[in-house]
Structure 1
């Protein structure tokens, strides 16, 4: 028996002090959490262009990876679209590993030590999330009445990222206090800043202003660890999946700066994104107006930055604004918690709706980052998907040439968002929507293939659809990105085309 990894032991010790009643549940969840993270890691090792893997051999129901130094890593055949934790063990030169952090440590490839620490955090935090969910379970009988309740049902985080629950810098007490899956009420710190020191776009509401000052809602973790502020007025809010975005009691959502690395990124709010927020919001409305009512885009109400990405906030509409009586607006990542049967016919309807909207916008020159957190689906009372809602426009990609062909003017956007590179535009949509939202909902390659085959029958035969049907499917190389800290921006893998994928 090897000693428990540092992150697992650290959380256990903290729980003994702050929540002793959770220790047994946490310990019991650790093996399943290791398997969940190991499955995500094995997907990356099996399918991403990692420079130290020189050959991959599939056969006999398994997969062998040959490393540049001659070692061999063996495990089960890897379905890139599977979401169940089916990898419980892999073998490196005959030594068995069930712990992803220990495996990454012993692989000893460039930057593996830092990534191993993140994997350890991911396992420990995931076990804590599962232990702390109480008796609500993943499939409650009744649908929530409020949007934030859907968000808090998502326990396991990103379905494919090995750092699905990595929260370094958060103690066990802070995870219980701020993690949406634990169902807390978070008290945002209200920080007044002289108006002359602030960049404000849109309409910043009067209740967040005082004499000559703009009041910025700040996440309590940010206030304590980055701004070093204590005291002051507070505002209660419900944390959403993004953790730094919260639902205020009267409906609007507030995105706060959070200078901690969660999953892959430090969640600050750049000055550029604040400056562009009103223009982006108007652009989103103009684009949505061309979808015949199939898509709504949440409006940005106002944004503020007080001279730094560390002290900034964005207010935007709740997706609930786009629900009719009896309907529910559900983040795609939370669909598994609805209790819907998700039959092949249901998945085909949902995939058809999502691809109709995504491909129509792509043809116009707008590539959505339509992953399970940004993309929401409007469900009728009997569970049928009828419309989509999209939120957070900060990661769009926009093609000027395509916009021009459709009579849409190019707004003044940050340069990183603008490209006529067809490959970049398709990567953005297909990597988030098909390899992300739809794959995560389907849960396996064969199920995804069946849903897509039915969904595409009536879609217009465009060059973009041809690329989806016949080329490898782009997906962010999540493991490669974490092992390449000096490489800026997204890196990509090419997954087996889902229209030709076979079962595990």
Structure 2
């Protein structure tokens, strides 16, 4: 019988106190949550360049990993693009493991203890999310945030798909989009002279000579000690959390990105002073390059941004993607496509892949590499459910190539230095890793289905060096497990995944 991890037991105890009616559903969800996290972990172990794995030996339907210390770890063949929970047990020597945290603990490799804690928290939080999921009728949501709140399992490939360290059970239930939360954002007043403001910060978020900064209640409770919201009824605003958790939709208004400086899947996020300063210029640049896609891509504009002297007290207002839906159309985050009542066929997947690659490769040729994963990328569906164009949000993680821009006579604005590079490998990794190994793989759900969609999609695309690299080279993906086991290594690390198009004659 499985012994619950400390994280599972702690969540169960807290849940019994704050939401006892969910306790049976939580207990029932734990085995599936462990399998979901173990499947994501096994993908990383099977395909990422982990220094303590000496070799990988396919064997029928199985795969054996030879560890540098002589031990052997065996599990099923690992499809790097498969998104269901298909790994229930792996064996380290003669011992079977159905718990990703216990497996990582007993592997005893550098930094495995802290990662094991994260995996245990990810499985427990995922079970909590599944226990509290809302029942959705087979119909289209009426609001943009309802699409986002249908995404229960989080990142389709990250072992920390639902890890929320620092959040109590009560806070997860109160702030998690999958729980249908409504969040009361505090409006923290700061003298305007002490703020960096970019764009058009609206009048309703000003109070005389003070700027009102929307702040997530978790941030108020855990980070901004001593900062109090403005008194009276105007001191808070209700918003609906989106997939990113720290970004929320205001009713009938824009989206607000808050400086929720908690670490979720991989890293602690904030809103840097540099990103606030560059936000208006970057928004204009994104809109200008999107205009070169013949209407196939729209970019949500940044309306205004503010930082009150610190990344811990900042916010960004952004257009809602629903602004780009025509009559009868719907704008759906790619990560939420699996929750739609749309009967997606191989033909639909191929159409979507062709649209996404046409836009992504076209912009890459210009010199702009999108971070087009399933959270940033949205698809506009016709009334009949066909993919007709894309919407992209959150420009902060673009990579921009000056030499390519110059070839196409596109002016390079003054952007943060981290965004600017002529390294073609960096540019291609950014797009291919997020769009193909991320959004498209997550939508199709397996290597064979991804191959079928890509084979059809690439046939009529312009034969550029970027397309040749996409078709002929290993497919890059962020090495998410390696990154969690390398806490002292800054920046992204990468894995080369088997390319589903290799050998396809394209």
Q: TM-score of the superposition, structure 2-length normalised?
A: 0.97
Deviations 1:217-259 (CA, angstroms, capped at 9, x unpaired)? 0000001110124564110000000000000013200000111
Q: Tell me the equivalent position of 1:421.
A: 423
Secondary structure at 2:263's aligned position in 1? Answer: strand
Report deviation, 1:340: 1.5
Structure 1 distance, partners of 2:367, 2:500, is 24
Report deviation, 1:337: 0.8
Report deviation, 1:381: 1.1
1:186 to 169, 183, 187: 183
Q: Does 1:386 align with 2:388?
A: yes
Q: Does 1:396 align with 2:398?
A: yes
Q: Does 1:406 align with 2:403?
A: no
Q: Does 1:219 align with 2:216?
A: yes
Secondary structure at 1:130's aligned position in 2? Answer: helix
> CA separation of 1:320/1:501 partners in 2, compared to 1, >3 Å: closer, same or farther?
farther
Q: Tell me the equivalent position of 1:256.
A: 258
Contact 2:475–2:496 (Cα < 8 Å) also in 1? yes
Structure 2 distance, partners of 1:83, 1:69, is 31
Q: TM-score of the superposition, structure 1-length normalised?
A: 0.98
Structure 2 distance, partners of 1:217, 1:267, is 16
2:201 to 204, 221, 226: 204
Contact 1:449–1:501 (Cα < 8 Å) also in 2? no
Structure 2 distance, partners of 1:414, 1:405, is 21
Contact 1:224–1:230 (Cα < 8 Å) also in 2? no
Contact 1:261–1:267 (Cα < 8 Å) also in 2? yes
Gaps of 5+ in 2: none
Secondary structure at 1:306's aligned position in 2? Answer: strand
Q: Tell me the equivalent position of 2:6.
A: 6
Q: Tell me the equivalent position of 1:44.
A: 44
Structure 2 distance, partners of 1:213, 1:173, is 33
Structure 2 distance, partners of 1:134, 1:198, is 40
Structure 2 distance, partners of 1:351, 1:275, is 35
> CA separation of 1:215/1:230 partners in 2, compared to 1, >3 Å: closer, same or farther?
closer
> CA separation of 1:230/1:11 partners in 2, compared to 1, >3 Å: closer, same or farther?
farther
Structure 1 distance, partners of 2:369, 2:134, is 39
Contact 1:476–1:492 (Cα < 8 Å) also in 2? yes
Secondary structure at 1:259's aligned position in 2? Answer: coil
Structure 2 distance, partners of 1:132, 1:500, is 42
Structure 2 distance, partners of 1:84, 1:57, is 23
Q: Tell me the equivalent position of 1:468.
A: 470
Q: Does 1:168 align with 2:181?
A: no
Runs of 4+ in 1 over 2 A off after TM superposition: 228-232
Report deviation, 1:184: 1.1
Q: Does 1:73 align with 2:70?
A: no
Secondary structure at 1:461's aligned position in 2? Answer: coil
Contact 2:473–2:502 (Cα < 8 Å) also in 1? no
Q: Tell me the equivalent position of 2:113.
A: 113
Gaps of 5+ in 1: none
For 1:169-318, what aligned pairs fall within 5 Å after superposition?
169-228=166-225, 229=227, 232=230, 233-318=235-320
Deviations 1:398-431 (CA, angstroms, capped at 9, x unpaired)? 0000000001011101111000000000000000
Secondary structure at 2:25's aligned position in 1? Answer: helix
Structure 1 distance, partners of 2:47, 2:260, is 31
Contact 2:134–2:180 (Cα < 8 Å) also in 1? no
Contact 2:471–2:502 (Cα < 8 Å) also in 1? no
2:497 to 484, 495, 498: 495
Q: Tell me the equivalent position of 2:449.
A: 447
Contact 1:403–1:410 (Cα < 8 Å) also in 2? yes
2:459 to 445, 457, 460: 457
1:146 to 140, 143, 147: 143
Secondary structure at 1:372's aligned position in 2? Answer: coil
Contact 1:298–1:391 (Cα < 8 Å) also in 2? yes
Contact 1:368–1:397 (Cα < 8 Å) also in 2? yes
Report deviation, 1:3: 2.9
Report deviation, 1:135: 2.8
Report deviation, 1:501: 9.2
Structure 2 distance, partners of 1:424, 1:408, is 20
Q: Tell me the equivalent position of 1:93.
A: 93
Please, what is the CA RMSD of the aligned residues? Answer: 1.1
Deviations 1:96-122 (CA, angstroms, capped at 9, x unpaired)? 000000100111100111111110111
Report deviation, 1:145: 1.4
Structure 2 distance, partners of 1:422, 1:3, is 49
Structure 2 distance, partners of 1:318, 1:475, is 29
Deviations 1:433-473 (CA, angstroms, capped at 9, x unpaired)? 00000000000000000000000110000000000001000
Report deviation, 1:82: 0.1
